[in-house]
Amino acid sequence: MASITASVYTSHVPAIGAALDLGKSGDDYWKPLFAGYEPSKAWFKDNTPDVIFLVYNDHATAFSLDLIPTFAIGCAAEYKPADEGWGSRPVPVVKGHSELASHIAQSVIQDDFDLTIVNRMDVDHGLTVPLSLVCGQVAEWPCPVIPFAVNVVQYPVPSGRRCFNLGRAIRKAISLYDEPLKVQIWGTGGMSHQLQGPRAGLINREWDNRFLDRLIAEPDKLADVPHLEYVQQAGSEGIELVMWLIARGAMSDKPPRVAHRFYHVPASNTAVGHLILENSQ
Amino acid sequence: MALDKPYKGIPGTTIFDAEQARKGYHLNQFCMSLMKAENRARFKANERAYLDEWPMSEEQKQAVLARDLNRCIELGGNIYFLAKIGATDGRSFQFMAASMTGMTQEEYAKMMLQGGRVPGSPVRDPGEKR
């Protein structure tokens, strides 16, 4: 049987990808940020899974306003890094895991979550920046990835509770897969940031760290936080943090082991948060 | 019974909800078209003519020509789409963000380095002088 071994949470700021791609990771501005991911890269080398289930959001790249799926699961064999208007990131093509993805789709839809099945799409920085941060600059990604895109662009986005329960349904689906695969689930986006309007630039260090504390210790209660609190406290784009609850809901009900925790301000306009949680065996 | 929209009262913040998305559909899809190099070139060659190919309102077109992002947002634009105008102009995202706050890019970048905008601090709308 397949199982979830660990979950990884990280912000996915596009400027981080640009800094890596342009060789600026050693600059004074970026050095402290990338230093925070060195332990993660070492951890990942020792704990490379068979598949990564990667929860992220598309930023008006694969999905325009023509089609806005709340939850979309990638079932394709591969996904090209998207041209987001300044050329594609020079990173490897992302290989999918069609068999596991289709299995999860079938199970989760039968558990009343209406997923959109995607057989062709490009993936933007929301997916590739987390991979670069944790896997490093590689010629090939170390394992297949199942992209799972969540609408956090057009309100209303799914509630924290729905995301958490969806995570539980994904956990069940993975546990029912016959092949003994080790799966990691990643939740990305956030932390506090607001990219629009006169309030742009909002950062809430205290709220972010409380979110990290609660994500570790009391995720079920954290799932009750309403949208309005995210927007008021973590900024209009801080709402992306609901995606972390999908990954957390997929973890075991027993307390996780915190393998790594990191927080840094700023990366461009955004607060960067990062956690690695392992399931106890 | 009207729908509850409690996010309407947050200062300096417009939530891109169904109502805004409906108003801004063509504006945002125009932005989306700038993902293609040939469209960027045509837009740059004659902005007004390119905008006239889209069924956008005159206010929306004027807001794009003026690069008034706050006004674009008020008229239904979403920042992830509007960012494609900035990319076409060769502007950084921080330049765009600063332009919405009434700060210079330097002032804005300094605020971010110092930890960002403090929650609850006053928000100044640069459009008030409009």
- Chain A residue numbers with beta carbons less than 8 Å from the beta carbon of B34 are 85
Counting the structural domains of chain A, the total is 1
- Chain B residue numbers with beta carbons less than 8 Å from the beta carbon of A228 are 6-7
- Residue A273's SS3 state is strand
Cα dihedral A19, A25, A27, A29 sign: positive
If phi > 0 it is left, if psi is from -120 to 50 it is alpha, else beta; for residue B22 that is: alpha
CB–CB of A265 and B116 under 8 A? yes
**What whole-number distance in Å separates Cα of residue A20 and Cα of residue A4?**
29
**Global ipTM:** 0.94
Amino acid, res. A194: Q
Give the domain CATH number at A236.
3.40.830.10
Q: Provide the whole-model pTM.
A: 0.97
Q: A90-102 pLDDT, tens per residue?
A: 999 999 999 999 9
CB–CB of A155 and B15 under 8 A? yes
Other CB atoms within 10 Å distance of the CB of residue A87: 10
Determine the Cα angle at A85 with ends A79 and A88, to 5°. Answer: 40
Q: What is the DSSP string of A208-267?
A: HHHHHHHHHH-HHHHTT--HHHHHHHH-TTGGGGHHHHHHHHTS-SSPPEEEEEEEEEEE
Catalytic residue positions of A, numbered: 125, 193
Determine what percent of chain A is predicted with pLDDT higher than 70.
Answer: 100
The distance of A171 to chain B (nearest Cα, Å) reads 31
Contact A238, A194 (CB under 8 A): yes
Mean pLDDT, all residues of chain A: 97
CB–CB of B101 and A198 under 8 A? yes
> How many Å is the Cα radius of gyration of chain A?
17
Contact A55, A38 (CB under 8 A): no
Domain residues for A106?
Answer: 3-278
Domains of chain B: 16-89 (1.10.700.10)
**What whole-number distance in Å separates Cα of residue B52 and Cα of residue B59?**
12
Checking if the pLDDT of A206 tops 60, the result is yes
Q: A48-65 pLDDT, tens per residue?
A: 999 999 999 999 999 999
